[in-house]
Chain A
C-alpha cells in the first residue's frame, strides 16, 4: 500500500541521534578495510581483498572503481549500495563535462555523492546508504585530493585515511608514519601497503592497490608488483630490527 511510504525511517531520537545513520556506520565498520594516501605527485588507494570461495572468479569483485579519467574511489560497507553511488557519480562526471566543458574537480564529485547520501537520510521510506567512501584524484590544475564520505552525507578532506574493519588501527598507524609532502611516489605507495599489512592477514596476496599519477590514468597494480613492494617493506623491517 502506498501509505507505508509516507513515513520517514530516519528520524531523530530524543537525544539528537539519527539512529539509522549510526547503524549504517556500524555496517561500514563490518566492511573490508580500505586505505587512501595523498602524496605530492601520486594518490593511492588500497583495499583488503575479501577471501573468495574456491569456485568463485576472483576478478568480478572490484572494490576500487574509477569515476572519470581524473578521479577514482574505494568504499567500505554494502557493495550493492556502493554500485548505485558509483553509477550515479560516473553519470554526473560526464554531465559536468557536458555542461561546463571541464572535468569535474574531486571536491565537486565528492560533494555530489555526499548530497545523494544526505538526501537518503531525509526521504520517505528510504534508508541511508551503508557505505563510506574514499575518493581520490587530481583536479584540472594538478592538485591532488583525498576525500572521505560517510553514510550521514558529510565529507572531509584528508591527507591519509582508512575506512572499514580496523580503520582505527590503520589510522593510528598512518598518523604515526605519514610525512608531509612525500615527494617520492614509492614512499607513498609503500605507506599505503604498510598500513594495510597491519590488519590484513597473510600479506600481499590479499591486497588490491590502485595508483594515479598526475596527468595519467588510474593504474591497478598487478599482484607481482604488490609482492615486490611487500618484499621491500619486509627487508626494511628486518634492517630496522
Chain B
C-alpha cells in the first residue's frame, strides 16, 4: 500500500493554516495586525475571531493554526509570565516568554499540535518579536507574516517598509493594508483587521476595521 509517510523525502506538505497574521518592528515599537476569519474546510465558521491574545499589558501573542492550541498555550504562557513577575520582581523579557512557550510545546512535538504564533512585546532591550511554532521553531526577527495569506501580506509590507522611519500612523496603515490585501486574495482570510501597537508603555488596540469597508475606502482613494 502506498501510504504517504510524514517524514523523509515523500512527506506530505503541511498546508499553511487558514489565516493571515503579521507583525513587524519599526522605530516606535511593534505593529501587530491580524484578520478574523475562522474556516472549517470551505465553511466560514466565524468572521469575528480574536486572533490576538493579550498575554499581559506589555506582551501580545498572535494565533495561527489550531484556535484551541493557540489560545490554550498562550493562556498558560500568561500564567507563567505572571509567576515569573512575582518571583523575580521584574517583567519577563520577550526572549524569555517566547522561550517558555517554545519549550512548553516542544514536549508535544509530533503529537499533532498546530500552532504558529508571534510573541510581540517591549522589554528592557527594546521592541521584541519572536516567531514560535508547534514544530519547535523559535526565531527572532523584524518582520513575520504567518498563515495562508502570509505571502500576500509580505508583498505589501516588504514594499512599504522600504522607506525608513515610519511614523506610528504610517506603520498602522501599512499593517492594515497588508492584511486587507491578503483577505482580498486568500479565501481563508477575511472578516475584520484587528490592529495593535506595542510601545514602551505596553500595547494598545489601534483599530478594528471591516475589510469590506476598507475595500470601499481604498477604491475611493484610487479614483
Interface residues of A (CB under 8 A from B): 98-102, 105, 108, 111
Q: CA–CA, A105 to B93, complex, Å?
A: 14
Q: Nearest chain A CB to B213's CB is how many angstroms away?
A: 42
Which residue from chain B places its CB closest to the CB of A101 in the assembled complex?
B95
Q: Does B100 touch A at the CB level, under 8 Å?
A: yes
Contact A99 B93 (CB under 8 A): no
Name which residue of chain A comes closest to B90, CB basis.
Answer: A105
B137 at the interface (CB under 8 A from A): no
Q: Is the CB of A99 within 8 A of B88?
A: no
Could you write out 20 A-B pairs with CB less than 8 Å apart?
A98-B99, A99-B96, A99-B99, A99-B100, A99-B103, A100-B92, A100-B93, A100-B95, A100-B96, A100-B99, A101-B93, A101-B95, A101-B96, A101-B99, A102-B93, A102-B95, A102-B96, A105-B88, A108-B88, A111-B87
- Nearest opposing residue in chain B for A111, CB measure: B87
Chain B contact residues: over half helix, strand or loop, or mixed? helix
Within 8 A of A (CB), among B81-124: 87-88, 92-93, 95-96, 99-100, 103
Nearest Cβ on chain A to B13's Cβ, whole angstroms: 33
Q: What's the least CB distance linking A27 to chain B, in Å?
A: 30
B residues near A98, Cβ cutoff 8 Å: 99
Q: How far is the CB of A101 from chain B (nearest CB, A)?
A: 4
Number of interface residues, chain B, beta carbon within 8 A: 9
Chain B nearest Cβ from A28, distance in angstroms: 27
Q: Which 7 pairs show the lowest CB-CB distances between chains A and B? A: A100-B96, A101-B95, A99-B99, A101-B96, A101-B99, A102-B93, A108-B88
**Which residues of A are found within 8 Å of B96, using beta-carbon distances?**
99-102
State the main secondary structure of chain A at its contact with B. Answer: helix
In the complex, chain A residues whose CB is within 8 Å of the CB of B99: 98-101
Query: Which residue of B is nearest A108, CB measured?
Result: B88
Chain B contacts of A100 at CB under 8 A?
92-93, 95-96, 99
18 additional A-B residue pairs with CB within 8 Å, beyond A99-B99, A105-B88: A98-B99, A99-B96, A99-B100, A99-B103, A100-B92, A100-B93, A100-B95, A100-B96, A100-B99, A101-B93, A101-B95, A101-B96, A101-B99, A102-B93, A102-B95, A102-B96, A108-B88, A111-B87
With a cutoff of 8 Å between Cβ atoms, the chain A residues found around residue B92 in the complex are 100
Nearest residue (CB) in B for A141 is B124
* Min CB–CB distance A3 → chain B (angstroms): 36
Report A97 CB to chain B, min CB distance, Å. Answer: 11
Minimum C-beta distance from B136 to chain A (A): 15
**A101 and B87 alpha carbons, distance in the complex (Å):** 17
How far apart sit A100 and B88, CA to CA, in the bound complex (Å)?
A: 12
Q: How far is the CB of A111 from chain B (nearest CB, A)?
A: 8
Minimal Cβ-Cβ distance residue in A for B102: A99
* Docked complex Cα distance between A111 and B87 (Å): 10
Considering the chains assembled together, what is the distance between the CA atoms of A101 and B100 in angstroms? 11
Q: How far is the CA of A99 from the CA of B92 in the complex (A)?
A: 11
Give the shortest distance, in Å, between A103 (CB) and chain B (any CB): 12
* Chain A residues whose C-beta falls within 8 Å of the C-beta of B95 in the assembled complex: 100-102
Residues of A within 8 A of B100 (CB): 99
Residue in A closest to B84 when the chains form the complex, CB atoms: A100
Across the two chains, which residue of chain A brings its CB closest to B88? Answer: A108
Looking at A101, A105, A108, A111, the one whose CB has the most chain B CB atoms below 10 A away is: A101
